[in-house]
Amino acid sequence: MRVISKPNEMQTNVESLRNEGKKIAVIPTMGYLHEGHTSLIRKGRELADIVITTLFVNPTQFGPNEDFEKYPRDFARDFQLAEEAGTDFLFNPVTEDIYQDGYNTLISISGITDKFEGASRQGHFDGVATIVAKIFNITKPHYAIFGQKDYQQTLVIKQLVRDFFFDLSVVVAPTVRESDGLALSSRNVYLSPDERTKAVILFKALDEAEIAIQKGENRRKILNAILHNAIRSIPEIKIDYACAADADTLEEPDVFLPGEHVILMIAVFNGITRLIDNALVTIPQDPQVKKHYFV
């Protein structure tokens, strides 16, 4: 595995590889890798000849009161995990090379960013879209691989790819979980032992709502209530949002129809740590009980 820190050096290498007919996959990360990230690297290994993993804690996607300064960083650990998972190039730039003196451009995507994470973290998706566009221009991939855990982010990136005619495929891989259901996240390291135990309520809440859907519940407000009530069983956990929405548009209809894809999304504060999770569910054509078509 080769480590590259300079954007122009990375560009030169990928241009040569593309000229040789090699297919390239990129896995953008902020480092502090875990099994969720390595599963994305392995997916890239399946799809492409060359796998590039990026490590960059992007300052423009953090708000003024968020955890940019204390976000966990461990290059030696990341190097080992990335290499073991099958990375060919580890792109590890410094901030000054990504946001050079005089840099004055941010990409802002509207609509899909107006609610949920976009509403709670003002400017977050501007930073995400900007750094991802930069990574695409630097690494010139055929495939860009992201995890479902950041579901709204995947929709933003798909919009970015469409709007800017990036010639690549966005691949969304399933969320990787601990044995008790907690979604893997670099921020889980912030949790105390007690908070870690309580954090599993996110998965349980999603599971309860998914079971309700399979039994025929398709009213958005009822699904939202199921999520809220489950999380409120742990009073210390504070809900930012917990809701059901159309998986493609994030619109919030009163009723979801058979065959429609629904995303169940949760964001909470567990102590000082903000956690997110989601589940993608299809409204069944033949539920176990009669569906509700009216609120």
Write out the chain in H/E/C secondary structure. CEEECCHHHHHHHHHHHHHCCCCEEEEEECCCCCHHHHHHHHHHHHHCCEEEEEECCCHHHCCCCCCCCCCCCCHHHHHHHHHHHCCCEEECCCHHHHCCCCCCCCCCCCCCCCCCHHHHCCCHHHHHHHHHHHHHHHHCCCEEEEECCCHHHHHHHHHHHHHCCCCCEEEEECCCECCCCCECCHHHHHCCHHHHHHCCHHHHHHHHHHHHHHCCCCEHHHHHHHHHHHHCCCCCEEEEEEEEEECCCCCCCCECCCCCEEEEEEEEEECCEEEEEEEEEECCCCCCCCCCCCC
- Of 37, 124, 142, 228, the active-site residue reads 37
The question of whether 37 is a catalytic residue gets the answer: yes
Q: Which residues are catalytic?
A: 37
